[in-house]
Structure 1
Amino acid sequence: MHAPLISIVVPAHDESGRLGDCLDSVLRQSFADVEVLVVQDRSPQTPQTLPASSRDPRVAVLRLGAAVGVGQARSAGADRARGGHLLFLDADHTLADGALQALADRLREAGDPDVLLFGHAHLHAGRRPGAAAELLEAAASGTFAPLERPELFGAPAHSWDRLVRRELWVREGLRFPEGLYEEVPVVVRAMLAARSAAVLPRECVELHRRHTLHPAGSPGSSHFDIFGQYERAFAHVEALGPAAEPVRVHLFDRMVRHCLFVLELGGCVPRASRQAFFRAAADHHRRYLPAGHRRPEGREGVKFSLLAGGSYSAYEIAKLSHIAGGRVASRLR
């Protein structure tokens, strides 16, 4: 049986009712050398009746007998995949028109790299590019070993903005761990293990939710899982020794930005837990601070400094002062 070029794994967790749009966006692509693995578990966020597009012959439905998180569902789909490269999508993602053909063309041009990075767009409240757009543009030419571009480890660690060669996935025994933010150590390990990588500076995946937080972790997960996931990621970096030292700076900055984003995003960390979350983030700042680290400029640098100081009350006062200052400035305009 012919092995497809790309296997697309889609956990059926669907809080926004967009799974059908996701599958339709894949199946209407002009490039058809794909298989789609829809992973259906027994969690409340998973529809038990799948959309009509799931009956397309290129779609296989894998039914799990328990309620699991998105990470375990992705791993189960990857285990069943036959394609040369893996792409992980969430139910409320869609592929831009022509995306798969552009990815296939870039794979061929780049000599079939282990990892192919590409752009994404947020469609909530108007189209805007993902946070890593400038990094991708800067690395868009040629093929490289990821350690030659350590700045790419400072980009958000998403599993759906890259193709990963399935041979690399199997060779490294990659699997998503339990809990939320499970993408972080997997993406870091895949990038460290890749012998070659390339970039397609094109927005291939479209996000329809407001923030890039995946829909569900495994039972018992919480936003405090982020700390264990970065511990795993840094362990992978440290296992490579001095060769991976340039990665530490960029991964550290990504960790701090990520933790502060989660802390400040409404609906993530309950008010009663915010101080404990801040202290855990400050502890990770101390543990993983690279020698000679230079903080970012401007307001972001102030946040880094406040986290380094470890005082949650000072952090909250500074935040309230900034909000108040913004209100005054708006009245004066």
Structure 2
Amino acid sequence: MAPPLITVVLPAYDEQEQLKECLDSLLGQSFREFEIIVVRTPSPHCPEERLVEAYELRDARVRVLRLDTEPGIGQTRMAGATHARGDYLLFLDSDHLLPADAFEAMAARLAETGEVDLLLFGHNREYRGKVWPGNAAELLAAAGPEVFTLNEHPELFGAPPLIWDRLVRNGAVPTFPDGFYEEVPAVHRSLLSASRIAVLDRECVTIRRRHTLHPEGSEGASHFDLFDRYESTFELLDAQPAEAPPVSPEVRTHLFTRMVRHYLFVYDLPGTLTRAERPQFFQRAAEHYKRFLPEGYRRPDGREGIKFSLLASNSYTTFEVAKFSRLSGVRR
């Protein structure tokens, strides 16, 4: 039996009881050459066994991987990936939905491009009856129809680091660390190691959340993990093998902008940090601003640029006052 084109790795965390709808949208695809690996753990946020077992019995393309331990989301994804038979992997969560022709469009695009390391595509967000495109839509549209390398489109390093808006070639799947924000270094590592990247210029996934949060972290995970994630990526930039093409300086510039936007987004997101954690988080972000600032960097314009400037000077008190003066508005 020929291997499927796509393996979907789907951790069964289901706090919002959306897993069933996600699975239904996958099994309703017009393109049939795929498999789904549902990874179930002892987590209280996983559904009852009978739900995933019913899908496993109903369709041979669904396999349930049952873990005896309760790892974080990163290790859960990795466990599923080790069992993948598909040529490409798609990492999803239970709050994702796909239009019925999504896999058909991906397959058609891959037929045009030949084998690639990454196939990037767009996504929508849906929240309280409203739908809007993801923040990378313009970047993807500008990339054009040709297969390319990261140095040819370094601006893609400025996109939000999401693992579920791309197909990753089997054999090129990056490792996911424990803790929160596990997809940040995984996305960046896959971009840096890819020699062939292509774009499918359409929305293929809808996420049913206003913001991108994190289903589960391993024990001891915290939002301060985000600083380790970006440190890892900058270390990757500095440790590229000698035989690899030099990384364009523009990659570092776009990564820096994305890093600062990500820090400010988390800082501003209600309910993410405690009152005691806020000054600590701000100080760590300011330290990274100073440490990773590219030479000749130009801050964004407008309100966002003001926030960058206040972070650059570690002006926590002024920043808090400005926040209440309606200066917030950082993009995610």
Task: State the TM-score, normalized to the length of structure 2.
Answer: 0.94
Counterpart selection for 1:110 from 81, 88, 113: 113
Which amino acid in structure 1 is aligned with residue 22 of structure 2?
Answer: C
Q: Does 1:37 align with 2:40?
A: no
Contact 2:303 2:327 in 1 (8 A): no
Contact 2:72 2:179 in 1 (8 A): yes
Partner of 1:293: 297
For residues 323 and 166 of structure 1, the distance between their equivalents in structure 2, rounded to whole angstroms, comes to: 44
Which amino acid in structure 1 is aligned with residue 83 of structure 2?
Answer: R
For residues 8 and 98 of structure 1, the distance between their equivalents in structure 2, rounded to whole angstroms, comes to: 15
Contact 1:90 1:214 in 2 (8 A): no
Residue-by-residue CA offset, 1:119-159 (whole Å, 9 max, x unaligned): 00001131100010000010132110122110000000000
Which amino acid in structure 2 is aligned with residue 226 of structure 1?
Answer: L
Contact 1:67 1:219 in 2 (8 A): no
Which amino acid in structure 1 is aligned with residue 67 of structure 2?
Answer: L
SS at match of 2:247: helix
Partner of 2:276: 272
SS at match of 2:108: helix
Counterpart selection for 1:73 from 55, 65, 76: 76
Partner of 1:328: none
Contact 1:140 1:200 in 2 (8 A): no
For residues 63 and 98 of structure 1, the distance between their equivalents in structure 2, rounded to whole angstroms, comes to: 30
Partner of 1:199: 199
- Which segment is superposed worse, 106-115 or 275-284? 106-115
Pairwise CA distance, 1:97:
2.2
Pairwise CA distance, 1:244:
4.0
SS at match of 1:39: strand
Task: State the TM-score, normalized to the length of structure 1.
Answer: 0.93
For residues 151 and 127 of structure 2, the distance between their equivalents in structure 1, rounded to whole angstroms, comes to: 34
Number of corresponding residues:
320
Contact 2:5 2:87 in 1 (8 A): yes
Q: Does 1:156 align with 2:170?
A: no
Partner of 2:252: 248
Residue segments in structure 1 that go unaligned for 5+ positions in a row: 325-333
SS at match of 1:60: strand
Contact 1:114 1:195 in 2 (8 A): yes
SS at match of 1:80: coil
Residue segments in structure 2 that go unaligned for 5+ positions in a row: none
Contact 1:121 1:127 in 2 (8 A): yes
Runs of 4 or more above 4 Å deviation: none
For residues 61 and 299 of structure 1, the distance between their equivalents in structure 2, rounded to whole angstroms, comes to: 48
For residues 244 and 177 of structure 1, the distance between their equivalents in structure 2, rounded to whole angstroms, comes to: 26
For residues 136 and 117 of structure 1, the distance between their equivalents in structure 2, rounded to whole angstroms, comes to: 8
Contact 2:22 2:95 in 1 (8 A): yes
Residue-by-residue CA offset, 1:18-62 (whole Å, 9 max, x unaligned): 001111100110001001000001112112323433432100100
